[in-house]
Amino acid sequence: MRVPLLSRRQALGLGVGALGAISFRPAAASEAGGEVHGLSVFGDLKYPADFKHFDYVNVNAPKGGLFSTIPTSRLNNQSFFTFNSLNAFILRGEGACGMELTFATLMARAGDEPDAVYGQIAKSVQISPDKLTYRFTLRPEARFHDGIRLTAHDAAFSFNILKEKGHPLVISQLRDMVKAEAADDATLVVTFAEKRARDVPLYVTTLPIFSKAYYATRPFDETTLEIPLGSGPYKVGRFEANRYIEFDRVKDWWGADLPVSRGLFNFDTVRLEFYRDRDVAFEGFTGKNYLYREEFTARIWATRYDFPAIKDGRVKREVVPDQAPSGAQGWFMNTRRKQFKDPRVREAIGYAFDFEWTNKTVMYGAYARTISPFQNSDMVASGPPSPEELKLLEPFRGKVPEEVFGEPFVPPVSDGSGQDRALLRKASQLLSDAGLVIKDGKRRLPDGDVFKIEFLLDEPSFQPHHAPFLKNLGTLGIEATLRLVDAVQYRARVEDFDFDMTTERLPISATPGDSIRPTFSAQAAATKGSYNLAGIADPVIDALLEKILAVDTRAELTIACRAFDRVFRAGRYWVSHWYRANHPLAYWDVFDHPKTLPRYQMESYSSSVGERILWWYDANKAAKLEQAK
């Protein structure tokens, strides 16, 4: 299932469970070639065809008010810190976060299921017996914001143009979509390749639908500040490039009373503020320049939420559990560069990072160490491989490190001093074993060049996390430096793989599918703009990716992911970071939300507003807040 880049949060930490008790109904009609109202990766759905709304929403939530925040998720070419284009679906430019709110999709995600989607533009879908052809019946009431009917011709145009000219990440995930055609105004036929990844049809259903007529007179793949013609619950309102953008609720939106929409999209205006610095952004929140903040800086959460509005109750704090995978966050080493070719060198670099000291000193002990890209899920490998895992791994014996068949690699635990001598000695030995010797006080690569590492960063408040790491690398004779660049330059360099090491969080879905190809595959390693920052190009990794994509049950998926996890961790491609299984939130007391929030809320909505689309503005609270000034 698709997960937008950093869909839940960037979780830099600045400053496992199974599926639970969800009752699913099999979508049996999809297997028999009949029409179904929803789709999921393994064919199970919680909600029946006649469901009225999602269980977790407040269908009586009032409409109105303002919701304002800073971007906490981004997609394709979007940036947390700036924007210069309203085209967020191509590689060029910095697209405005939140543009997804302005486009309707064939189907919409359910926040309390790992991957299920239910009809939005599409009323139903009929699947061919070979599961290669999907016939979507579109709702006749679907409209663009100019009142013109949205048809299958628009949907076919959208998928085909995204496959041809969309962002490389989109193109990659559409590789198994052969074509999209309109049989008539109400019938869209999408054909998929044989042996397609199982989640590609679901991915297609969550892509934006553009107006074919609108783009008949405009190039699709150019940056622009012209407001595009949408069909979603919001449309672009006021904005100033690089500073803020507002989205206004479409009060006569055609889809407002659909089961997937009731109780959602409650705010009249959604406003995103852009700041270049997290500390400055925090000051903006205390000054009520925006109303809602998810806190990613442990130092700020621990020490600075003591301003007057907190003390007198005008600002509320809340911690929301996070039960979805936390993703692969860490410093990624660019193995396209010669200094990172040897896995012993990559392992040695990892020993120079003292997580225990950093967590205690910089992050106030708020985090646990990440050991796997599937962290916070039951897909994390542990202990010796199970018989089922061994069945997948045995064909690769001799092609992968022997540790793959034993305990999986876990980052070392330091003594917390900030400069663990035992770990640094081990790192030095690994470097020497790899042929990197000290000469004239400098660590030298086998070809004689000085071993240099430049860490690329776009966020000043993350510098304290780098400082002790760089110092320890210097102790090993490595010339390590930090380069801080602006957001535009950072994105350009990362998309061109023009870096030695950089920090990123790569999202992993609760149901990993075709979206993991752009993160780990050899093809992605050579594709500009892909998530494969480390440049992983391993035939075994590719083979295990195909195993993950081919399984028929969730139990098989878990086994395949654990096998993959062992091989990935054996490659030492990253210095893993940290995670926390909750979301610290702070907001001015003008909002309310359902008492029980959906389990997969943070990854269910591909927008910078995230799960807050099910919150609402409370006019009574707002009035009391105004009186309390």
Place of tokens 């960063």: 457
pLDDT of residue 596: 84
Same-domain status, 146 and 252: yes
Strand partners, 68: 271
550, 562 in Cβ contact below 8 A? Answer: no
pLDDT of residue 4: 35
Backbone phi, psi, residue 580, to 5°: -140, 140
pLDDT of residue 276: 87
Closest C-alpha to 514, from 550, 555, 563? 550
State percent of the chain over pLDDT 70: 93
pLDDT of residue 611: 58
Residue 296's pLDDT band (boundaries 50, 70, 90)?
Answer: confident
d(CA 297, CA 307): 16
244, 271 in Cβ contact below 8 A? Answer: yes
Place of tokens 């869209």: 188
Same-domain status, 596 and 521: no
Does 321 map to a domain? Answer: no
d(CA 476, CA 493): 27
pLDDT of residue 487: 86
Does 292 map to a domain? Answer: no
Predicted confidence (pLDDT) at residue 40 exceeds the cutoff of 90: yes
Same-domain status, 117 and 84: yes
Does 392 map to a domain? Answer: yes
pLDDT of residue 600: 75
The arithmetic mean of pLDDT across residues 412-435, rounded, is 97
Does 269 map to a domain? Answer: yes
pLDDT of residue 437: 96
pLDDT of residue 280: 92
144-169 residue pLDDT tens = 999 999 999 999 999 999 999 999 98
Same-domain status, 390 and 250: no
* Least trusted range by pLDDT, from 139-153, 164-178, 317-331: 317-331
pLDDT of residue 15: 37
Same-domain status, 564 and 591: no
d(CA 367, CA 358): 10
Same-domain status, 79 and 219: yes
Does 157 map to a domain? Answer: yes
211-246 residue pLDDT tens = 999 999 999 999 999 999 999 999 999 999 999 999
Same-domain status, 469 and 592: no
Closest C-alpha to 105, from 233, 218, 8, 197? 233
pLDDT of residue 558: 96
- Provide the 3-class DSSP secondary structure of residue 579: strand
Same-domain status, 575 and 589: no
185-220 residue pLDDT tens = 999 999 999 988 888 999 999 999 999 999 999 999
DSSP-derived letter for residue 505 is E
pLDDT of residue 515: 81
Cβ-based neighbours of 126, under 8 Å, separated by 6 or more? 33, 34, 35, 36, 134, 135, 137
**What SS3 string covers 397-412?**
ECCECHHHHCCCCCCC
d(CA 340, CA 346): 6
User: Looking at residue 158, which CATH number applies to its domain?
Assistant: 3.40.190.10
Does 314 map to a domain? Answer: no
Backbone phi, psi, residue 621, to 5°: -60, -40
Is the pTM higher than 0.95? The answer reads: no
The Cα-based distances of 111 to 264, 276, 318, 363, 481 in angstroms read 12, 31, 20, 30, 42
C-alpha of 56 from chain center: 22
Predicted confidence (pLDDT) at residue 174 exceeds the cutoff of 90: yes
User: Looking at residue 390, which CATH number applies to its domain?
Assistant: 3.10.105.10
DSSP-derived letter for residue 300 is H
Residue 610's pLDDT band (boundaries 50, 70, 90)?
Answer: low
Same-domain status, 356 and 269: no
Same-domain status, 523 and 594: no
Does 447 map to a domain? Answer: yes
- Provide the 3-class DSSP secondary structure of residue 378: coil
d(CA 13, CA 465): 9
The arithmetic mean of pLDDT across residues 164-191, rounded, is 96
51, 259 in Cβ contact below 8 A? Answer: yes
The arithmetic mean of pLDDT across residues 10-38, rounded, is 48
Residue 29's pLDDT band (boundaries 50, 70, 90)?
Answer: very low
77-125 residue pLDDT tens = 999 899 999 999 999 999 999 999 999 999 999 999 989 999 999 999 9
State percent of the chain over pLDDT 90: 79
Same-domain status, 268 and 355: no
The arithmetic mean of pLDDT across residues 475-490, rounded, is 95
Predicted confidence (pLDDT) at residue 606 exceeds the cutoff of 70: no
Does 245 map to a domain? Answer: yes
Structure tokens at 5: 């880049």
d(CA 324, CA 387): 26
477, 424 in Cβ contact below 8 A? Answer: no
pLDDT of residue 507: 79
CA 7, 10, 13, 17 dihedral sign is: positive
DSSP for 206-256, please give it.
Answer: TSPPPPHHHHTTS-TTS---SPPP--SSEEEEEEETTTEEEEEE-TT-TTT
Predicted confidence (pLDDT) at residue 12 exceeds the cutoff of 70: no
Closest C-alpha to 67, from 612, 622, 623? 612
CB atoms within 10 A of CB 409: 22
- Give the pairing of strands 234-240 and 244-249: antiparallel
Place of tokens 């895992």: 389
DSSP-derived letter for residue 580 is -
What rounded mean pLDDT belongs to the chain?
Answer: 91
DSSP for 308-367, please give it.
Answer: HHHHTTSEEEEEEE--S---EEEEEE-TTSGGG-SHHHHHHHHHT--HHHHHHHTSTT--
Residue 8's pLDDT band (boundaries 50, 70, 90)?
Answer: very low
Same-domain status, 574 and 595: no
Question: Could you tell me the residue range of the domain that residue 79 belongs to?
Answer: 25-274+583-623
Number of separate domains in the chain: 2
